[in-house]
Amino acid sequence: MTDIVNWVNVGPVANIPLQGARTFQTETDRIAIFRTLDDQVYALLDRCPHKDGPLAQGIVHGHFVTCPLHNMVFSLETGEAQGPDDGCAAKVELRVIDGTVHIGLTAEQIGLRHAG
């Protein structure tokens, strides 16, 4: 994502299960925050570009997540579909600071609107 205007603390890394995910709702999007078995943390918009499947409900394996609706596999690092599939789940910028996850949100995601 681009044009980050605010970094939001969404809680400790420990609150995200290994090989699992938690979601965070913004004004415009639901964000899936994933934690891998090797304790890496990534964030993508929580919707598969193919059929809007909830990626947070998918299976995390390695640095990938499999959509629960139709088994499309996405890289957690880039959001890119793997194998013969085409598409990309939008990546969300994320930082881990002292064990706490912070996600970068755009003006639209935090509810700021331009007047006129």
Instruction: Please determine, for residue 112, whether its predicted confidence score (pLDDT) is greater than 70.
Output: no
pTM for this structure? 0.91
Tens-digit pLDDT profile for residues 20-59: 999 999 999 999 999 999 999 999 999 999 888 999 999 9
Long-range pairs of 105-110 with CB within 8 A, sequence gap ≥ 24: 105/4, 105/5, 105/6, 105/7, 105/8, 105/26, 106/1, 106/2, 106/3, 106/4, 106/5, 107/3, 107/5, 108/27, 108/28, 109/26, 109/27, 109/28, 109/29, 110/5, 110/6, 110/8, 110/26, 110/27
Percent of the chain clearing pLDDT 90 (strictly above): 79
Length, in residues, of the chain: 116
Confidence of residue 18 (pLDDT cuts 50, 70, 90): very high
